[in-house]
Chains A and B, each alone.
Chain A
């Protein structure tokens, strides 16, 4: 079973404050270092917007069946 040392949001805030006041940090191992790095990484909001558009493009055109039947596009 993996050791559970998940940083809570409060711990992350404290860590960030400590970083500002004292730039020296020590990580027990690469796991902890990568975990810290991951916690500091933010997902660019642009990805969600692009994904929403891509998914929208995948879906069928929203022309009603009776409009398609009559050859209309609006």
Chain B
């Protein structure tokens, strides 16, 4: 439903301030909210922020889902990441790609969350050397008979790896990120990333076989 409202508008141009009264037709806020209740898209008037969400929410949600392991945690984290991004959107200078910038916020956010959980619960670190020397080679194909529970198997596998390996594997799976961007995100050189990825893939393959 729409109704008429009288608004006073201040216009400042070249030092001249004028005040005018205008009658405009505005949407009733309750009806507007109801109309958009089943619309998944974000409608914000903030210089392309809605487009940013549309373009990158999928990879940010996937990263948080696999780093945090639970859908409701990933939902909260994705919301919080984009809210942080919204607050900083005006300061984003484009030194990195928007994708890498969002990944940076998401990685820091998930890292803080996981650190607080680790502090509350004693967690033993994964011993990667066992799996790096396991029979499975990183270039062996991964066979999957049933894709229905594939997500659970992947989560179980990632959970068995170190935080560093998890992050590297998830980032490198995003083809839009270059090795240089991944290296910057994890704070290492591109060569170091390539070396660790080889071991991470091998560890993943070995763990994945055990999850059948």
Residues of A within 8 A of B (CB): 1-6, 19, 23-38, 40-52, 54-55, 58, 64-66
Contact = CB atoms under 8 A, between A and B. Distances in A.
A27 B144 CA distance: 8
B8 A66 contact: yes
A43 B201 CA distance: 26
Which are the 10 A-B pairs with shortest beta-carbon distances? A45-B40, A34-B173, A30-B204, A27-B142, A48-B42, A38-B62, A25-B144, A43-B61, A26-B141, A43-B57
Interface stretch (B78-86, B98-106, B107-115, B122-130): B78-86
29 contacts: A2-B179, A23-B146, A24-B144, A27-B142, A28-B139, A28-B141, A28-B142, A29-B138, A29-B205, A30-B169, A30-B173, A30-B201, A30-B205, A34-B169, A35-B175, A37-B66, A37-B151, A37-B154, A41-B62, A45-B39, A46-B75, A48-B57, A50-B79, A51-B53, A51-B83, A52-B44, A55-B46, A58-B87, A65-B10
B75 A44 contact: yes
Interface string B36-50: 110111111010000
B147 interface: yes
A6 B58 CA distance: 15
Contact of B86 (A4, A27, A38, A58): A58
A49 B142 CA distance: 38
B142 A47 contact: no
A47 B58 contact: no
B83 A54 contact: yes
A47 B151 CA distance: 21
Contacts, number: 133
A2 B178 contact: yes
B59 A38 contact: yes
Contacts of A54: 79, 83
Interface string B74-98: 0100110011001100000000000
B11 interface: no
A31 B173 contact: yes
Contacts of A48: 40-42, 53, 57
A44 B71 contact: yes
Contact of A26 (B7, B75, B142): B142
Contact of B145 (A24, A29, A49): A24
